[in-house]
Amino acid sequence: MPRTQRKTELSPVEALLVERRLHEEARSSASGGALTRIQMLTKERQKLYAKSAAHPFLAPANRARILAISAEIELLWEALRRERASRRTQMERALHVTDVDDEQPRAEPDVIVGTIGAA
C-alpha cells in the first residue's frame, strides 16, 4: 500500500489554490453573511459617533448603543476568523499537510519542587 508523503507546509501552487478558494467563498457568502452584518453595524456606529460629535448632549444616550454595536462587531469578527481558519485547516488536511507540532512528541515540562530562601 503506497504511503502518502508527509509535508508540513503547502507548496506555492497549493497555497495559491487555497487562498483563491477562501477568497471565492468569502465573496460568495458576503451577500448575507457575517461580513455584511459587520459592515452594516460599522455604518450605524459611525453615524452615532457623528451625531454624538455634532450634539454633545446626545453622547451619553448614544454611548450604550455604540458599546453594544462594538461588542457585536467583535463577536462577529471572532466567529468569521474561526470559520475561515476551520476551512483552511480542512483544505490543508485534504492536501495531506500536517502540523509540525503533530510530528514531534510533546515533552512534559520539568517541575522543580523546593523551598526558596532555605538556609
Q: What is the pLDDT of residues 96-119, one digit of tens each?
A: 777 665 555 555 655 565 556 555
What single letter denotes the amino acid at residue 13?
A: V
Q: What is the mean pLDDT of residues 6-31?
A: 72
Q: Where are the domains of the chain?
A: 12-99
More reliable by pLDDT, 101 or 48: 48
Q: Mean pLDDT lowest for which of 43-52, 53-62, 73-82, 105-114?
A: 105-114
Q: What is the pLDDT of residue 105?
A: 56
Residue 2: pLDDT band (50, 70, 90) is low
Q: What is the pTM of this model?
A: 0.58
Q: What is the mean pLDDT of residues 32-47?
A: 91
- From the list 16, 23, 10, the residue with the least C-alpha distance to 93 is 10
- Looking up cell 458576503 gives 30
Length reported for the chain: 119
Report CA torsion sign: 25, 26, 28, 33: positive
Q: What is the pLDDT of residues 66-91, one digit of tens each?
A: 999 999 999 999 998 998 888 888 88
Q: What is the pLDDT of residue 19?
A: 79
